[in-house]
């Protein structure tokens, strides 16, 4: 489990350390909370709508959503994941 969280934790530690060194540690919270409360919610909702829009109304749960292929950046963090 540690190998899965090592990269994101290291990146966040570097970001927090850099902002603290610049005297703006509050920006770290702002950079997480504002997108989480605004932009992330919009993007998640649009993606959910796109996955289920105009899909067939079969009783088969495997046929009532669309396949959404992830782009390069969306796949990038998963390169080192195992299992």
pLDDT of residue 83: 47
* pLDDT, greater one: 64 or 8: 8
* pLDDT, greater one: 37 or 73: 37
Asked whether residue 14 carries a pLDDT value surpassing 90, the answer given is: yes
pLDDT in tens, 20-65: 999 999 999 998 888 888 888 888 888 888 777 776 677 776 767 7
- 37 phi-psi bin (left φ>0, alpha ψ -120 to 50, beta other): alpha
Identify whether the C-beta of residue 55 lies closer than 8 Å to the C-beta of residue 65: yes
């Amino acid at each position: 489990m540690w190998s899965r969280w090592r990269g994101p934790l290291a990146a966040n530690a570097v970001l927090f350390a850099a902002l603290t060194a610049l005297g703006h540690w509050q920006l770290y919270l702002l950079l997480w909370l504002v997108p989480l409360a605004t932009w992330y919610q919009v993007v998640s909702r649009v993606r959910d709508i796109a996955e289920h829009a105009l899909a067939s109304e079969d009783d088969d749960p495997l046929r009532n959503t669309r396949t959404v292929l992830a782009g390069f950046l969306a796949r990038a963090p998963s390169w080192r994941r195992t299992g």
